[in-house]
Amino acid sequence: MKKFTFTIALCSLFFSSCAQDHGPKIQDELGPKYIYETVVDGIDIPWGMTFLSATEMLVTEKSGILYHVLDGVKSEISGLPEIYVRGQGGLLDVTIAPDFETSKVIFFTASSSDGEAAGGHTALYRAKLEGTSLQDLKQLYKGEGNTKKGQHWGSRISFDAEGHLYFSIGDRGNREVNPQDTTRDGGKIYRLNQDGSIPTDNPFYYEKGSKQAIYSYGHRNPQGMLTHPETGAIWVHEHGPRGGDEINVIGAGKNYGWPTITYGINYSGTPITSDTDLPGLEQPLYYWLPSIAPSGMAFSTSDNYPNWKGNLLVGSLKFEYLERLVITDNEVKERHKVLEGVGRIRNIKQGPDGLLYLGVEGKGILKIIPQPPLN
C-alpha cells in the first residue's frame, strides 16, 4: 500500500460580534508527525463508513454504491433501494446495529424519490447484511415534502445508550419554513426505535400536528453526528452559510435557532438576521468564523495518538484539512490543523484498532499512522 507524508472572519458590518475571528485561532500541528496510508481506493465520494470488524468495513459511495471492504479489497453489495442522486443527495451514512454480531442489521440514509410529489427527500433504511447482499430491506422513515432542490439532505446516524437511533435531515434548502416548523420535515434531528417505531417519550409525540419522530429542530444541514464517549450525549455539527458552522449538543425538544439566529451571513454577503442570541433558542457549543464546511467527526480515545486523546477531530471540506479541537468543560480551548492539503474530508471514524480513518473525496479511505509507525 502506498504511503504519503504529508482569518479573518467574513461578516457584514452589522455583526459587531464578528469584527474579528471567533474563538481560538487555528494552529499548525506541532509535536509527533503522522503519515497516512490508503487502505481503500477508487471511491469518488466516500460519504459514510462503518466497521464490521478490525479488517472489515462498509463504505457508501454517494453516487449509489454500498461497498463491502475486507482487507482493503472492496466489492459491491446488492439489494439497495433506488437512490435519488441529486446535488448533495445520494447514498449517505451507514452504520451497524449495536447488536450487529448476532443480528447482522445495518442502517443507512439515502435520498429517496418515494412519494407522490416530484423530487426527493432523505430516508432512513434498515436491512440485514448477508454476505454481499441486503435482505429484509425496510424504509423506517422518509421526510415528507419532496423537492427538486439538491441541497441540505443531511445526514448522519448515531445511537444512545438505550439503543435509540438518531439521524439528521437538513433543511432541504427551504430555510424560511422547514427548520422552525415541527409539523414539517427538514432541519431536524430525529429519534426512533430500531424497528422504526417512535418512542413515546419523544418531545413532540403528543403534540398535535407535529412530526412525532422529531427530537430537536432549528438545524441547517447536520453532516456530523456522534455519541460522546463519556457523557453519552448526542453531538452534531452542521454547516452554516457563509460563517456560522456549529457544534451542538442535542437536547430533547430544543430549538437550535436556524435561521432565526445565526452567526453566518448569506453567500452573497448580505445579512440573514442581525440576531445571534434570543430567548428560548440554543447557543452552539462552538461556531466557526469563517466556515470550514465540516463533515464527519470523531473523538480520539485510544493511546495511539497520545497528544490527541480526548480531542474532537472534524473534517474540513472547504480547507481540505483535519481539524483537531481541544475541548475542556464544553469549551473549545485550542484548534490545530492536521494533514493540511489531504483533500476534502467527508468522514472520519476511529477503528477497532484505535486508529483514525478518513473518507477523502477522490482518494478513498485513508488511515492515519503515527510516525515512526507503531510496533
**Active-site amino acid positions:** 152
Q: CB atoms < 10 A from the CB of 291, how many?
A: 22
189 forms bridges with which residues in the sheet? 168, 216
Contact present, 259 and 177 (Cβ < 8 Å): no
What is the DSSP annotation of 75-115? EEPB-PPPP---TT-SEEEEEE-TTHHHH-EEEEEEEE--S
What's the CA gap between 105 and 199, in Å, rounded? Answer: 20
Q: How many residues does the chain have?
A: 375
Measured distance between the N- and C-terminal CA atoms of the chain, rounded to whole angstroms: 18
What secondary structure, in 3-state letters, does 297-340 show? Answer: EEECCCCCCHHHCCCEEEEECCCCEEEEEEEECCEEEEEEEECC
What's the CA gap between 174 and 11, in Å, rounded? Answer: 22
Contact present, 112 and 142 (Cβ < 8 Å): yes
Q: Which three cell numbers stand for residue 314?
A: 472534524
Q: Which three cell numbers stand for residue 99?
A: 447488536
Contact present, 295 and 279 (Cβ < 8 Å): no
Contact present, 252 and 203 (Cβ < 8 Å): yes
Rg of the chain taking only CA atoms, in angstroms: 20
What's the CA gap between 53 and 41, in Å, rounded? Answer: 19
Contact present, 135 and 122 (Cβ < 8 Å): no
Q: Which amino acid is at 52?
A: L
Q: CB atoms < 10 A from the CB of 130, how many?
A: 12
